[in-house]
Amino acid sequence: MFDKEILNYKDLDIKISDFANEDILFLLNNTVLGSEGGMRYSLQNINTRITEYGDKIRFISLYLKGQLAGTIGACYRITGQGKLQVPSSYLRYLAFQPLYQSDQTAGGSRRELKREEKEDSFRYRVLELFGKPHMLGFEPAPGDGKHILYAFIESMNERSKNLVHQAGYEYVRSFLTVAFSRFSPVVKKEVELLPADEIPFMTQLLNDFYKDYSLFTTDYAFLNNKYYVLREKGEIIAGAAAIPSAYKIFNIPGVWGWVITKVLPETPFYKRIFKPDIFRFLVFDAIYCKEGKESRLPDLFESMCASEGFNTGLTWLDDRSRLYEELRTGAGMGALNRMLNAKPGLVYIRFVNFSEEEKDIFFDSPAYISGFDFS
């Protein structure tokens, strides 16, 4: 393990580490995510996920007078295939606490503005550092030194969008949330956990399925032996990884937010699929489906929920991908998906050592949105 200082200015220090210390974990576990006007929530399994990233995560942290003020994580992987294959760092776990003091007679609005300005300054400095991926201490880059750094940002979060623009990130694609729900899910006899000896074969199926996607990786597809497959006459026609997850919900805006958090939890059956305090759900990740068999995906999802003890599942898909179109227009995804009115998420990428021509394929190709990174 390492924890080293990479920048020092007066009372400010920026350090990089390959582990989350107690202060970082406390900050992350007490951070509310989401943008003003959007859903506000906190992750409930941060410690477990960080452990599962293993040696592929780095934290860049800001310290003020020796006290942790903010941090952000970078998760390394090789993504894509062919011309889309490139060493990549996915940015997540951004958290900041208002350690800065201001004149208390200035009023709340001025104090909040000063806090936001300093938070943005930290974010900008860190994003600039991430433009130098060799500082993260991951594997040596190929000879051409290409690397991408990418982040997912809510479309309503204007501050974050402006910030990443200033740091050289470019808007590439958009994606939407797809929900699945069942009041009383049932295990299907055609669905089973993938045997360990079939993982290489399933990996090839996934690579073929996502060969034209950017950002795709199978690094976490078979984690904890929770990959389920649906067979037809012995052939795998669909599959997905099951990742248990939970959010603590603080706010869902709008009329539908009021209905979901106040009305449905008091309604028989509906309270099974959504509880307003801790929202437990199953993440469907690394979804595979043989062409023409998309109508069988709800059977797979239902059996996964039943087997894992959930009523609801979520996944995130590029909104111009074929899989999204099939699930959006297909029947059988359940009540929650019909009610869902989620705003799109945006994929931002900073390209390191890419020509303009080499970037084009990332704008034209659907992006793989890793459910593991959202869990």
Percentage of the chain modeled with pLDDT above 70: 80
CA distance 272 to 183: 6
Determine the pLDDT at residue 212: 98
Same fold, 3-175+346-374 and 177-345: yes
> Where residue 124 falls among pLDDT bands split at 50, 70, 90?
low
pTM: 0.88
| Tally of CB atoms within 10 A around 41 | 17
Q: Is the pLDDT of residue 110 over 60?
A: no
Q: Is the pLDDT of residue 74 over 80?
A: yes
Q: Contact 136/16 with Cβ under 8 angstroms?
A: yes
Q: Is the pLDDT of residue 141 over 70?
A: no
> Using one digit for the tens of pLDDT, what is the confidence trace for 195-245?
999 999 999 999 999 999 999 999 999 999 999 999 999 999 999 999 999
Q: Give me 252's structure tokens.
A: 């869902």
Q: When comparing pLDDT for 258 and 231, which is higher?
A: 231
> Where residue 8 falls among pLDDT bands split at 50, 70, 90?
confident
- 351-374 mean pLDDT: 96
Percentage of the chain modeled with pLDDT above 90: 59
CA distance 260 to 252: 8
Determine the pLDDT at residue 372: 97
Q: What are the domain boundaries of the chain?
A: 3-175+346-374, 177-345
**46-53 helix and 22-29 helix, angle to the nearest 10 degrees:** 130
- 116-137 mean pLDDT: 64
CA distance 255 to 171: 30
- 77-100 mean pLDDT: 87
> Using one digit for the tens of pLDDT, what is the confidence trace for 10-25?
788 889 999 999 999 9
Lowest mean pLDDT among 34-48, 107-121, 189-203, 264-278: 107-121
Lowest mean pLDDT among 123-137, 192-206, 297-311, 314-328: 123-137
Q: When comparing pLDDT for 186 and 341, which is higher?
A: 186
Q: Is the pLDDT of residue 109 over 60?
A: no
CA distance 331 to 337: 10
Q: When comparing pLDDT for 257 and 303, which is higher?
A: 303
Mean pLDDT of the chain: 86
Q: Give me 183's structure tokens.
A: 């009041």
Q: When comparing pLDDT for 6 and 340, which is higher?
A: 6
CA distance 64 to 68: 6
> Where residue 93 falls among pLDDT bands split at 50, 70, 90?
very high
Q: Is the pLDDT of residue 64 over 80?
A: yes
Determine the pLDDT at residue 260: 61
> Where residue 276 falls among pLDDT bands split at 50, 70, 90?
low
Q: Is the pLDDT of residue 152 over 80?
A: yes
- 16-40 mean pLDDT: 87
DSSP labels, 223-267: GGG-EEEEEETTEEEEEEEEEEEEEEEEE--HHHHHIIIIIGGGS
Q: Is the pLDDT of residue 345 over 90?
A: yes
Q: Which fold has domain 177-345?
A: Aminopeptidase (3.40.630)
CATH number of 3-175+346-374: 3.40.630.30
Q: When comparing pLDDT for 210 and 326, which is higher?
A: 210
Lowest mean pLDDT among 16-30, 47-61, 179-193, 248-262: 248-262
